Structures are given as C-alpha cells and as structure tokens.
Structure 1
Amino acid sequence: MKKTALPPIGNRILKSAAGVFLCGVVYFLRGKGGIPFYSMLAVLWCIQPYSESTLKMAAQRTAGTFVGALFGLITIVFEIYAVPVYDTLWGYAFIALMIIPVIYTTVVLDKKNASYFSCVVFLSITVIHMTDNDPFLFVLNRVLDTFIGIGAGIAVNSVRLPRRRITDTLFAAELDDMLSPVNERLTPYSKVEINRMLSDGANFTLATMRTPGAITEILADVKMKLPVIVMNGAALYDIKENSYVMSYIISDSTCKKIRDIVKNRDMNMFTNALCGDNLMIYYDELKNEAEKSIYTSLKKSPYRNYVNRLPSPEDRAIYIMIIDKADKISALYAELTESFGEQLKIITYPSDDYKGYAYIKIYNRNAGKQKMIEYICSSYNIEKFVTLSIDGEKSARSINRIAHELKKSFEPLCFGKK
C-alpha cells in the first residue's frame, strides 16, 4: 500500500483560527454585546490566500450585508407595523417575494457574488430575529458584527513578521522537486507562497526537462514573471507571453544525420522544433507501444502540436526524443555517442512509465540549466543566483520544502534590522 502523508496545517488555517479568536475577544470587550457568530462567519470568509483576495471578499461581504440589512428593515416595518402577518403562511410568502429584490439589487450593483450573503443577512433578520424585543437593534448589531469580522479578517491577513526581501538574487528550483508524486501538481501551499513572494518582488524561476506544453497546465495558477528553463536547458520559455526568449538549436544537417541512423535501426524519433513561436513535434512512423501510448495520451492537449512528417529546413530543432526497448536504446546510444558525442548533449535513462523501455534525449551541446540561469541574471540585471533543491529522495513530505527554502532565502527575519 502507498503511504500517503497528511498535508501540513497551512497559514490560512492558522489565520482562520486566530481571526475567530479575535472576534471572541472583541465580543468580550464590547461587554458581550452583539452576536459573535456573525463576526466569526465574516472573518472566515475574509481570510484568503492573498491580500488582494481578502479586500475583494471584504467588499463583497460589506455590500451583501448592507443590501440584506436594508431589505430586512423594510420587511420588519411591513410585517410588524403595516400588515402584521409574521409567522403566518402569508408572512413567509412575503419573505420569499422579497428575496427577488434582494438578489436583483446585487445584480444591479454588479455585486453578483454577494447575492448569497445578502440573502443570509436578510433571512437571519426576517426569519430568526423578527420576534426579538427590538429587531431594529439586531439589524444594527448585525451590520456591526459583520464589520468587526471583516476588520478582524483584514487585520489577521495583514499581520506579518518583520522580514527583509532579497531582490538582487535569482532563486532557481527544479520543478520536479516540487510536484506531488501522486498527481504531478504543485501543492496549494507552494502555489500560494510562491505567488505571494512573486508579488513581493522575488526573482524566481523553475527548471525542468519537460516541454512548455507539459508545464503550462502545471503552472497555470502561478504568476511567473521570469521565463522558465525548459527541455533540460535547451530553451527559455515565457509563460505569460507564450513565447520563447532564447533557445539552443540543433542544425538541420545534424538532424538529418541522426534521422538516418535512427531509421537504419528501424526506429522512430520525435523532433521538437520551433516554427515561429510554436513548438511542433514531428514524427515519422510510430514503431512501438510506448510511442503509441505517448502520442495517444498527449496529442489531444492544446499545448502540443504533433505533425506526421519530417521537419522543414526552416524549422529550428531544439531537442530529439527517442523511446524504445532498453536493449535497442542502449545500442543506439552507443552509436550516437560515438558519432556526435563531442558536438551534442546526449542522455539516456530508463522509463518509469513503460517497463523495459528507455529514453534517449538529444540537445545542442551548449544547452544547460546553469547557462540559462546565468543568461536570466544577465538579461534581467540580477546580481547573483541561488539554486534550491531537495536533499535526498523526494517524498510526499518533502514537496513543500522548496517553498519553505525560498521563503527563508527571499525574506529572512530581520528583527530590528533594515
């Protein structure tokens, strides 16, 4: 059986607990005035991963509270003073009818996301507290309780230990070190922490042997500002601009020679080449089950473009991938190394997904993650760089370690320091 590690308790959970406690403190400071339940609901809604999200949720909650309280007051006046129908079927019919202007008002105010909260406030006034000795006082306290919760949420989410930010350093990490072994995705903690530090000015990039098509979905929620090192250092890819910043190319003549060797061994190769800013994956005839499986599973992706023909001379080949039975790969690797070992970077390794198969990947000899890191530093006027890595074998417990290390390196504690 697979051992599944429990996720760590994140900052949002701790902040939620702190916010609820703060609402309780305010309740006692008010001499047990109001109803802390409503403050606590508001604070839980306002605690968000990012500061801008907190302010957005606070604005929604404020709008929802005012709309719900306004129509709650109107209903109180009607059911108590105009037509006393409270706790009758006609009274509930009137409450149901008033739901329409409550929701419609949030639509008119372009606060559609606040509709639910408006209804909650409205119903809490008209259904639960209509029989209070002074329902008007409840309306006032309901609004005040919400503001207390909103204020507590903003305060808790804004509290940070004093830290200084290191903005003259490029922090680089291996993407695979950060991916969950279960679903090959970043953890919520990593995404939140990295996005927060990026918004605070962190210079951060990732390196991977994957193609842009493979990482675009993985990093869809990460607001990367610097280009990412892809295909084992063969290219720099700007996710935000969907463009290649820099790449090392394998010449067309070299590709043809490699293709002849591969074809003579009755094998196929995938040539990843740039056509403008589009990465095309050229192939000839799929020869084995591993190739067919890879092609079938990936061809539907909008980020991959498979083309069943040879590349054009104008296409710029970035890297070549070959997968086949391990013994055939071993023999081919020996021949390719003998022929091109001094002018290309050729690597081979066994496949984790296809038992008995192995890969060969071929790059320009200058391709490398270190060179790309240095290129980023030079291009973006960054003075130095630090590589972050996991020491030892990656596990379910270690995948948040890169985010932890980035946090310690980018914003160290600075009590009393500038």
Structure 2
Amino acid sequence: MKTQTLYISDLDGTLLNSDSVVSPHSIEKINALLHRGMHFTVATARTPATVIPLLQQLDLNMPAVLMNGAVLYDIRRRRYIRTNGFTDDSALRYIERLEKRHLVPFVYRIDDNKLHVFHKTLSNEMQRTFKSQRENTPYKDFILTTDYREELLDRPPLFILVIDLFDRLETAAAEIARTGKCSLFCYRDIVDPRYGNLEIYPQGVSKAATAQQIIDSLNPWEVVAFGDNLNDLPLFGIADRRYAPANAMDEVKQQATAIIPDNNHDGVARFLDQDYR
C-alpha cells in the first residue's frame, strides 16, 4: 500500500467536472481512500470562498494550496496557515501599468482571516459574472474603490487578477514580465477562450513552491500531481509522476507521465482507486 505517496490535484478541469463540482462518484471513491490513509490534497487558483463549499463532502485532513500558491490553507479549521503576498509597493506599479491599458484588476488582500477583493467599476460581463458568483460569502467580500493606492499603500496585497480579452491580457503580461520581478500566469478561459485570466504574484510564488512546504513536512517517498492547465506545470516540475486528464491543454499533456480519463469521467478518482493499493 502506497502510504508514503502524496497525491496533489488541481481542481478546475481536473478534479472538478464541467459543472464545476466533484461528482458523487469521485467523492465516494476518494473518501474511501482517505479513510484508508491516503495522503491527498488540492492545489488550485481558487480561494476559500469557493473551495470550502466545493470540497465540503471530501474528508480532507491536509493543508490545501490555494490562490496558485499565494496561501496555504486549513480547510477543516477554516484558517490561513501561511500567506505569500507582496511585501513592497511593486504591486501598485503593476496596477498602474494595467490601468494605463484600461484593464480593471481585482486586488486581493487578507485581513483578520478574511479575504478582501478591491476593484474599480467593472468593464465587461465576464468580470461581473465572476464577482456575482463569488460574493456574499463569509470568506470573501468585494470592495468597490476609487483609488487602489489608498487601499494598499500600507498593506500590500496577496496578488492581482485581471479578467479581460485574452489578447489584451497577453500584451499586458508581456510588458509586466519585461519590467517587473514577479510570477505571472496568463491563460485562456476554458468556457470562452476569447477571454482569459492574468494573475500576478510576488516572484517565486506558485503552486509548486507552496506545495513544497507540505512535501517537506510529510517527507513522502514520492509525489504524484494531476493538472490540466499551464499554471499546473510548476507543480508537475516537483512531482515524481504527473498525470493530465484527456481534456488538458496540449502543453500539459506533453509534460505528463500519462493521460487519464477526462474530468467528466472521474479521471482522478478512477486513477487513485487503481494506484493506491
């Protein structure tokens, strides 16, 4: 039995199906394995506001990597274990560059164990949908501001998210990458590829860097990772084995040890059921 294997899975496009939920079949299979001692956790771009309700039926007992590594989070106790945010005013400089390109960033900061998301007037329907699906929870609130500097000068943020047309984001990402020292993830939306997400973190922040803290604590014999998108590649880089669902991006499949069934056919749970023996 592989009691010293650590399994780490991405959520969207990997453990979650196209309805953005963990299927009843996956819940049943994974819980049965967790009760037998399997070491399993998740690494995702999501925040506690959506992760907690999505995973409430899974009996996870290990810290989770959230916000692409910006935080290490205890889902069971609902608390932040560690945060990896900006410590200087560089985030404000990135925000200024984004605003010069008429892009509206969502800027994340933690105060008293709650996530605050600052933003100016939203400019497209994708942004408005993103906000409406995530507000009114006890774990996150959205705050309309007229001045990011006023909100952030003395308390730097965790990270910055921009949702807009992908071509516009790609151009902005290239400019910031040339002039700043930060970790950037720019990728297309899986539902509407015309749009995309640009995420800006302090230099060195990634799913892999924060997952390494779990690895160092557990000291497993091997690490197995599951992912479908470009922001999963750093995690693949520290894994002994890497698995991509059939729906994954081609760049991710090329780095995978093997391809597993897609996220609508319980690929991760089916693999775990066969592998953890």
Q: TM-score, normalised by structure 1?
A: 0.54
The one-letter code matched in structure 1 to 2:215 is C
SS in 2 for 1:390: strand
1:195 to 31, 35, 53: 31
The structure that is strand-richer by fraction is 2
Alignment RMSD: 2.3
Q: Distance in 2 between matches of 1:403 and 1:322?
A: 32
2:26, 2:70 → 1: CA distance? 26
Q: 1:372 aligns with which of 199, 205, 210?
A: 210
**Aligned with 1:337 (options 168, 177, 180):** 177
Tell me, in whole angstroms, the C-alpha distance in 2 between the residues paired with 1:351 and 1:387: 22
Matches within 5 A, 1:196-275: 196-275=32-111
The answer to whether the 8 A contact 1:237-1:244 is kept is yes
C-alpha displacement at 1:396, in angstroms? 5.9
Determine the structure 2 residue equivalent to 1:171.
Answer: 7
Amino acid at match of 1:351: D
1:392 aligned residue: 246
SS in 1 for 2:157: strand
Q: Give the deviation of 1:281 after TM superposition.
A: 0.9
Q: SS where residue 317 of structure 1 aligns?
A: coil
Shift in alpha-carbon separation, 1:358–1:398, aligned structure 2, 3 A: closer
CA distance 1:179–1:326, shift in 2 (3 Å): closer
Distance across 2 between alignment mates of 1:296 and 1:378: 38
Quote the Cα distance in structure 1 between the aligned partners of 2:48 and 2:24.
21
Higher helix share: 1
Aligned residues: 244
Aligned letter for 2:209? K
Unaligned runs of 5+ in 2: 227-242, 249-260
Indicate which of 343, 357, 379 corresponds to 2:195. 357
Show the counterpart of 1:75.
Answer: none
Counterpart contact for 1:337–1:346, Cα < 8 Å: yes
Look up the equivalent residue of 1:377 and give its one-letter code. I
Q: Would you say the 8 A contact 2:106–2:160 is kept in 1?
A: yes
Q: Partner amino acid for 2:9? A: A
Q: Distance in 2 between matches of 1:254 and 1:267?
A: 17
1:401 shift after superposition: 2.4
Q: Tell me by how many angstroms 1:186 deviates.
A: 0.9
Deviation at 1:219, TM superposition (A): 0.2
TM-score (norm 2): 0.78
Contact 2:89 2:156 in 1 (8 A): no
Once residues 361 and 267 of structure 1 are traced to their aligned partners in structure 2, the CA distance between those partners, rounded to angstroms, is 13
Provide the C-alpha distance between the structure 1 equivalents of 2:159 and 2:131, rounded to a whole number of angstroms: 17
Q: Deviations over 1:33-56 (max 9, x none)?
A: xxxxxxxxxxxxxxxxxxxxxxxx
Structure 1 partner of 2:17: 180
Aligned partners of 1:270 and 1:321 also within 8 Å: yes
Work out whether 1:328 is the aligned partner of 2:165.
no
Of structures 1 and 2, the one scoring higher in RCO (CA 8 A, sep 6+) is 2
